[in-house]
Amino acid sequence: MSKKVVAITSCITGIAHTYMCAKALEDAAGELGYEIHVEKQGASGTEDELTFEQIAQADAVVFACDKAVDESRFAGKDVLKVTCDAGIKDPRGAIERAMARKGTERISAGDVTARRFSDEGRSNAASGAATIFKHVMNGVSHMLPIVVAGGILTALRYAFGSTITDGNIVWAFEAEGSLPYYISQIGATYGLGMMIAVLSAFIADSIADRPGFVPGLIGGLIAGSIQAGFIGGILAGLLAGYVTLYLNKWIQLPPAFAGLKPILILPLLSTLVVGLVMYYVVGTPVALLTAAITSLLSSLNGAGNVVLGIMCGLLYFDLGGAVSKVLYAFAIGMLDTGVYGPMAAVMLCGMVPPIGMALATLIKRDLWNDDERDSGKAAALLGCSYITEGAIPFATSYPLQVLPGCMIGGAVAAVMSLLMGIECTAPHGGMFLLLIPNVINNIGGFLLCLAVGSIVCALIVDGLMTMRRNKDKVAA
């Protein structure tokens, strides 16, 4: 009987890495002769959820996750925890290490939630940079659907047009009680109005589990009300999470009153602490910092736009990985302040690599084998959907040839976009956003930037690949 493996995959956004990692693990397990069941926790919810029977019978367990997952089902199991990216790059190694119990962690039996607050259970309290990043990205991933829906509806309100009254432009959505008015309320007031609160709430939830949710939510609402913006929301979430974490650890009650702690004591005390700190300590400095950043980005001249565009291209070197997500989160934060240029530039940086690779496999077909040319076709579709991960198979096989082209092509597209003043009010969607009026203010310019950046990417990659193939021939 073959050995059995169970795994969970979950990336930050739950769009691409989650499924690419699952496929990689399934393929690797098949090569090793193992039976595997993979639970995908993607943006649309949990797919192929593991049963208790599958977990109980598993000889190895792998968590390839970039955000927190519920560990309670795995009590008593030895679990190997790796990032989603690591699961894609070395799935075979991950499975073999899990099977050999190398680098695994035993999930304690009993109450896993309580274990979360123990010294030996989790390293949350250590507040390491990687741990904090993981919590912040958990908030970003939950916030993303709200920003997408709110941003698109906010842009859609302009599709109803305007009139000129007494020399002033009056938009249709300003007429209270009208259809465009309600669309504006749904998108701008309630949709985008909740983004900071949701970000903060799920950062806190990632740190302290459910008890951190309420203080995180209220802290985020306060951050929004005092104009502390995206940065304030992150700080509120971290503050709420760690305050709740330590209060839960320090406050010990008799068993008869233990039920009061999660329902009354923790929400009350942590919310009070977070609220007062936000108002008296964090609020004003962060609001000033947010205003300064907004002013700086709004007033960038030609040279400043060039520098920002180059930075965007270079920081996308990991093709949708952790560093790219930081840049993406920054662009989303700017949406809340009404600065939409960085979002267009960042989106182009994410679309250029896969589309550029698709072009590279078409321009010089002899450089690529049949599987790579087929991957190029898939990459084109992924790129049009703003899924950068379509370029990862090429970068994994030929990093020195592919990554320079992707970074330079993305930088060219981003610089052009910023210089042309192109703006995007929605954080995801790629080419499909072109179908929605006013989401992208200059559709022709956006397509031009995408085309030029992708062609530059393809030409550089093909040039470097030609040098590699020629070198291989000489060596042979």
Position 72: which residue type? S
| Given 11, 21, 84, 384, the catalytic residue | 11
- Reduce the secondary structure of the chain to three states and give it as a string: CCCEEEEEEECCCCCCHHHHHHHHHHHHHHHHCCEEEEEEEECCEEECCCCHHHHHHCCEEEEEECCCCCCHHHCCCEEEEECHHHHHHCHHHHHHHHHHCCCCEECCCCCHHHHCCCCCCCCHHHCCHHHHHHHHHHHHHHHHHHHHHHHHHHHHHHHHCEEEECCEEEEHHHCCCCHHHHHHHHHHHHHHHHHHHHHHHHHHHHHHCHHHHHHHHHHHHHHHHCCCHHHHHHHHHHHHHHHHHHHHHHCCCCHHHCCHHHHHHHHHHHHHHHHHHHHHHHHHHHHHHHHHHHHHHHCCCHHHHHHHHHHHHHHCCCCCCHHHHHHHHHHHHHHHCCCCHHHHHHHHHHHHHHHHHHHHHHHCHHHCCHHHHHHHHHHHHHHHCCCHHHHHHHHHHCHHHHHHHHHHHHHHHHHHHHHCCCCECCCCCHHHHHHCCCCECCHHHHHHHHHHHHHHHHHHHHHHHHHHHHHHHHHC
Contacts 24+ apart (CB under 8 A), 365-371: 367/462, 367/465, 367/466, 367/469, 368/465
For residue 284, CA distances in Å to 218, 229, 240, 292, 352 come to: 17, 11, 18, 12, 39
Active site residue 349: no
Strands 60-65 and 45-47: unpaired
Active-site residues: which are they? Answer: 11
